[in-house]
Amino acid sequence: MPRKLKALLLENIHPSAHEILAAEGFELEILKTALGEQALAEKLKDVDLLGIRSKTQVREAVLAKAPRLLTVGCFCIGTNQVDLGAATKRGIPVFNAPFSNTRSVAELILAEVVALARCLGDRSREVHAGKWRKVAESSYEVRGKTLGIVGYGHIGRQLGVIAESLGMRVLFYDIVAQLPMGNNAAVASMAELLAAADFVSVHVPETPQTKNLIDAQALAAMKPGAYLLNASRGTVVVIPALAEALRAGHLAGAAIDVYPQEPESNVDDFKTELQGLPNVILTPHIGGSTSEAQAAIGREVGTALAKFIKTGATTGTVNFPVVDVPAVRGAHRILNVHRNVPGVLRDINKIVSDHDANIQGQVLATDAAIGYLIMDMEIDGQLSDEVAGAIAALQTNIRTRVLY
């Protein structure tokens, strides 16, 4: 009987992923915690699939001790806990879930838009402290107000759609031309957006261009009495400049979920210059942290891993050329990862023709380091194993396996 594939799932990965991988025939070992380098290397000796979240470090030394490892799933957004270059060189695709928490972030921002317009944080804190301050001053409806979205990607678009349902006018600015959703409207420059918006919400990635994007100058360009919201990345907003704009009364409030320096784990002494300022909502990077997002992450990464195991598809990887070919009936599928040097396909096709093998389909994608080939061969006795064996013996081979 063929050996069952083994999956090691660490850090309390959502059960939605367990179900998908178990249905794929995996024997699962599930741990609630992360593992250190030694313990992980020991476990990975006979593991085919590793699932982690953000705490487990998967470095070259660990990968070197995992001879069977086919793929790594990061059940989170970030992938810098994995040495991606080392994984690529070993022919191991790494998957993550960049968009499973899009809705959660958009909903939080929308709630904060209303909360800022009503100074909810301050009023709530006052009543908790026994103070009754019934005021209408500085309290507004959001209907008819303008929301300016900087970065109209997955989150920006989702936010734009739900903000309109509250009767807000939505403008957006993006460096890439984007299709407006609903009545959302693009503006030509960030300056135009900053000058027009009552609420500015930032949803850009962390890049050299977005570092300090919202600095003193950008804040000064915002309308007096406007609000700033940032749940993108901590490097995008210059916090001392924001604190100054709030203290000076130029801005009426802010909601901040991400910070230039964030603690690795929960602490009791987190410091930011924004603490204690009026109408400032501070949250500990929880934009995407909901039960629904965790379940969606389990499904998204679990499905991508299962598809890779079943068909070789690499859609959704962060370190591999993308090939996605539906499974073919009546064929054997050979997967080959090789160093990307000239002549590899010629060598492989020579092996195929020397064996008189009948190829039904062949798809190759490459990046700077590797080539990834999916080849479907007509079923013919032991031939697929022989062809795969000859391909695996090539100097350029990183990894070759017959899938079915």
Ligand X SMILES: NC(=O)c1ccc[n+]([C@@H]2O[C@H](COP(=O)([O-])OP(=O)(O)OC[C@H]3O[C@@H](n4cnc5c(N)ncnc54)[C@H](O)[C@@H]3O)[C@@H](O)[C@H]2O)c1
Q: How far is the CB of 201 from ligand X (least distance, A)?
A: 10
Looking up tokens 């010629």 gives 346
Give rounded-to-5 percent helix, strand, coil for the chain: 30, 20, 45
Look up 203 and say whether it is catalytic.
no
Look up 233 and say whether it is catalytic.
yes
Task: Give the Cα separation of 55 and 221 in Å (integer).
Answer: 40
Residue type, 79: T
Burial class of residue 379 (count of CB atoms within 10 Å of its CB; 0-12, 13-18, 19+): middle
Q: Which is nearer to ligand X, 108 or 246 (CB)?
A: 108
Q: How far is the CB of 96 from ligand X (least distance, A)?
A: 11
Q: Which is nearer to ligand X, 96 or 232 (CB)?
A: 232
Q: Which DSSP state fits 45?
A: G
108 touches 129 (CB < 8 A): no
Q: Quick one: which of 222, 280, 290, 223 has its CA closest to 256?
A: 280
**Catalytic residue of the set 154, 250, 285, 355:** 285
User: How many CB atoms within 10 Å of residue 171?
Assistant: 22
The DSSP element (H or E) to which 386 belongs, if any, is helix 383-392
Q: How far is the CB of 171 from ligand X (least distance, A)?
A: 13
**Catalytic residue of the set 19, 206, 262, 292:** 262
Interface with ligand X (CB under 6 A): 77, 99, 101-102, 105, 150-156, 173-176, 203-207, 209-210, 213, 231-233, 257-258, 285, 287-288
Look up 332 and say whether it is catalytic.
no
Q: Which is nearer to ligand X, 87 or 202 (CB)?
A: 202
Task: Give the Cα separation of 196 and 291 in Å (integer).
Answer: 36
**Catalytic residue of the set 157, 169, 233, 338:** 233
Q: How far is the CB of 88 from ligand X (least distance, A)?
A: 22
The length of the chain in residues reads 404
Locate 310 and state its tokens: 């079943």
Q: Which is nearer to ligand X, 285 or 401 (CB)?
A: 285
Q: Which is nearer to ligand X, 62 or 238 (CB)?
A: 238
Q: How far is the CB of 274 from ligand X (least distance, A)?
A: 16
Task: Give the Cα separation of 112 and 93 in Å (integer).
Answer: 38
Q: How far is the CB of 194 from ligand X (least distance, A)?
A: 12
Q: Quick one: which of 12, 80, 92 has its CA closest to 49?
A: 92
Q: Which is nearer to ligand X, 49 or 94 (CB)?
A: 94
Residue least distant from ligand X (Cβ): 153
- Sign of the dihedral defined by the CA atoms of residues 175, 177, 179, 185, in that order: positive
Question: Would you please indicate which residues are annotated as catalytic (active-site) residues?
Answer: 233, 262, 285
